[in-house]
């Protein structure tokens, strides 16, 4: 049985979705920062996709230069605050901390990062200014982490930047897709507002770029275009009965959860299909929303799950049951989902085989499909000369992030197929430098 009571108010929602990395107080930040060894060629820094100078910012916190610490962080990563909260630090910086080798707890780098950046955001301390206007204009498609990072970097160099966002809020998955116990909506939005106030890029909300005409307009009006559109909707499983009511995609459902909080109703019995981090999030979130029974169903065995071990443990500790080696064959029910028919599988050296005659039915009231997102191949194919790989990911130069259509640059999930916020931040920043380099080369 789930340990969480169905949240009926925002306060109860916040209780069930208590922040896993809460803000440190001054005492905690002082003691924690005192522990840092200031390693040479620091493994934590090498493990950070944006290569933040972690020993430096921790030393700065320790010596009372918290503003300087925030500057060090934002210099490397424009969404330093969000990344402090949402990064899987256990497999990145903190996982690389040398203390691990002596079974001493790793430095809580993510929380220290959040501590420093939260301070400058709360006190509205100006760290950056837009560069002298250089007369160049760049359009950014998508106000997610990649797009925001690209815009910030371009503004520092003096570019005029217009971001076109299909939704009504910025931050992409940081607001719409990440588990609410990792970051609150306010925290994610505050950071973009903090950056926008200093750097002054424009975001055009509810302004999707979806057809050739819109693309042509951008091509005419802007010197370069950055594509930071992320991934598409949840991919169809092509299952019989998939169209039934209460069969939802994880990405869409989590977006609903992030926007509606306690007002989203989650029925009693939930089955989540998938073995990745999004499946773990959806399962954990369903349990925290008060579902009586949450079953995580993965078609292979536990070791083959794509999810991080800590994400799996988070789900299990929220009361989720995990069933391995089963694959859905049909969604049952009359209009509304009433159950799923599964078949057992066996793994023959990596090749999944169905065990004939092993079908069984599991009654449930909702099915969440966390089986991957479709790529926005249809949209991307409208850009002339833009090559995609076999999995519909945009092909880019690995240092400049320029696509095969020289006017377009791209980064984030649309390029890597779905990674962390911190990877998108890195891509966006690098693409901005790539854009600058390319435009200079045309002179």
Which residues are at the interface with another protein (CB under 8 A)? 25-27, 30, 34-35, 38, 40, 53, 55-56, 59-60, 63-65, 67-68, 71-72
Place of tokens 């089963």: 326
How far apart CA 278 and CA 96 sit, in angstroms, is 24
- Tell the smallest beta-carbon distance from residue 99 to another protein (Å): 12
- Look at strands 360-363 and 351-354 and give their pairing: unpaired
Closest approach of another protein to the CB of residue 34, in Å: 8
Give least dist CB 123 to another protein, A.
Answer: 12
Contacts of 131 (CB under 8 A, 6+ apart): 155, 156, 157, 158, 159
Nearer to another protein, 123 or 217 (CB): 123
SS3 76: helix
Residues in the chain: 443
- Is the distance from CB of 311 to CB of 279 less than 8 angstroms? no
Q: What is the rounded CA–CA span in Å between residue 352 and residue 358? A: 14
Instruction: Give the shortest CB-118-to-another protein separation in angstroms.
Output: 16
CB of 37 to another protein, least distance (A): 9
Closer to another protein by Cβ: residue 59 or 258:
59
97, 53 Cβ separation under 8 angstroms: no
CB of 67 to another protein, least distance (A): 6
C-alpha distances in angstroms, 76 versus 71, 182, 275, 396?
Answer: 9, 21, 32, 21
Nearer of residues 26 and 399 to another protein, judged by Cβ: 26
Q: How far is the CB of 143 from another protein (least distance, A)?
A: 31
| Alpha-carbon gap, residue 228 to 163, rounded angstroms | 10
Q: Which is nearer to another protein, 58 or 421 (CB)?
A: 58
Taking the C-alpha atoms of residue 174 and residue 377, their distance in angstroms, rounded to an integer, is 23
- CB nearer to another protein: give 42 or 431: 42
Cβ distance to another protein smaller for residue 53 or 365: 53
Nearest to 180 by CA among 262, 276, 112, 91: 262
Identify whether the C-beta of residue 58 lies closer than 8 Å to the C-beta of residue 37: no
Rounded to the nearest 5 degrees, what angle is found at the Cα of 161, between the Cα atoms of 158 and 163? 155
Pairing of strands 366-369, 269-273: parallel
Among residues 223, 239, 274, 229, the alpha carbon closest in space to that of 427 is found at 229
Pairing of strands 326-332, 339-348: antiparallel
Q: Which of residues 34 and 46 has its CB atom nearest to another protein in the complex?
A: 34
Query: What is the closest distance, in whole angstroms, from the C-beta atom of residue 58 to another protein in the complex?
Result: 10
CB 270 within 8 A of CB 6: no
What's the min distance (Å) between Cβ of 112 and another protein? 15
Least distance to another protein from the beta carbon of 351, Å? 51
In angstroms, give the least distance from the CB of 26 to another protein: 4
Of 63 and 358, the one with the shorter C-beta distance to another protein is: 63
Query: Distance (Å, rounded) from C-alpha 5 to C-alpha 16?
Result: 8
* Neighbouring residues of 11: CB distance < 8 A, sequence distance ≥ 6: none
The CA–CA distances, whole Å, from 234 to 250, 256, 278, 373 equal 7, 14, 11, 4
Which residue shows structure tokens 């945009």? 394
* Residue 152 C-beta: closest distance to another protein, Å: 20
Kind plus residue range of the DSSP H or E element containing 184: none
Residue placing its CB nearer to another protein in the complex, 53 or 191: 53
Nearer to another protein, 67 or 404 (CB): 67
Q: Rank residues 19 and 67 by Cβ distance to another protein and give the closer one.
A: 67
């Amino acid at each position: 049985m789930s340990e969480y009571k169905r949240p009926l108010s925002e306060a109860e929602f916040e209780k069930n979705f208590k922040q896993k990395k809460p803000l440190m107080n001054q005492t905690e930040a002082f003691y924690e920062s005192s522990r840092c060894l200031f390693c040479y060629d620091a493994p934590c820094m090498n493990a950070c996709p944006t290569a933040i100078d972690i020993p430096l910012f921790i030393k700065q916190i320790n010596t009372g230069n918290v503003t300087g610490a925030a500057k060090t962080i934002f210099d490397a990563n424009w969404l330093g605050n969000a990344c402090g909260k949402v990064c899987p630090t256990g497999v990145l910086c903190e996982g690389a901390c040398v203390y691990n080798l002596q079974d001493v707890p790793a430095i809580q780098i993510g929380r220290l990062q959040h501590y420093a950046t939260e301070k400058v955001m709360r006190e509205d301390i100006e760290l950056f200014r837009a560069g002298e206007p250089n007369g160049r204009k760049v359009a950014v498609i998508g106000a997610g982490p990649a797009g925001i990072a690209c815009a910030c970097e371009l503004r520092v160099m003096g570019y005029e930047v217009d971001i076109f966002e299909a939704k009504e809020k910025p931050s992409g998955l940081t607001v719409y897709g990440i588990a609410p116990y990792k970051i609150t909506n306010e925290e994610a939005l505050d950071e973009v507002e903090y950056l926008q106030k200093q750097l002054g890029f424009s975001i055009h909300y509810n302004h999707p770029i979806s057809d050739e005409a819109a693309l042509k307009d951008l091509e005419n009006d802007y010197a370069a275009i950055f594509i930071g559109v992320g991934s598409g909707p949840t991919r169809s499983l092509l299952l019989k009965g998939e169209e039934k009511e209460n069969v939802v995609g994880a990405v869409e459902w989590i977006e609903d959860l992030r926007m509606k909080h306690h007002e989203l109703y989650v029925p009693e019995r939930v089955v989540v299909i998938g073995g990745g981090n999004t499946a773990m999030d959806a399962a954990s979130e369903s349990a925290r929303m008060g579902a009586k029974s949450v079953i995580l169903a993965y078609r292979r065995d536990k070791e083959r799950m794509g999810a991080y071990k800590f994400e799996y443990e988070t789900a299990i500790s929220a009361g989720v049951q995990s069933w391995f080696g089963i694959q859905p064959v049909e969604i049952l029910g009359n209009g509304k989902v009433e159950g799923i028919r599964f078949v057992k599988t066996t793994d023959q050296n990596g090749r999944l085989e169905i065990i004939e005659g092993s079908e069984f039915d599991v009654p449930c009231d909702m099915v969440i499909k966390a089986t991957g997102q479709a790529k926005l191949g249809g949209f991307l194919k409208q850009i002339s000369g833009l090559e995609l790989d076999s999995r519909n990911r945009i092909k880019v130069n690995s240092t400049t992030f320029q696509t095969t259509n020289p006017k377009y640059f791209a980064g984030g999930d649309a390029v890597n197929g779905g990674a962390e916020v911190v990877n998108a931040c890195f891509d966006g920043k690098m693409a901005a430098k790539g854009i600058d380099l390319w435009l200079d080369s045309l002179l």
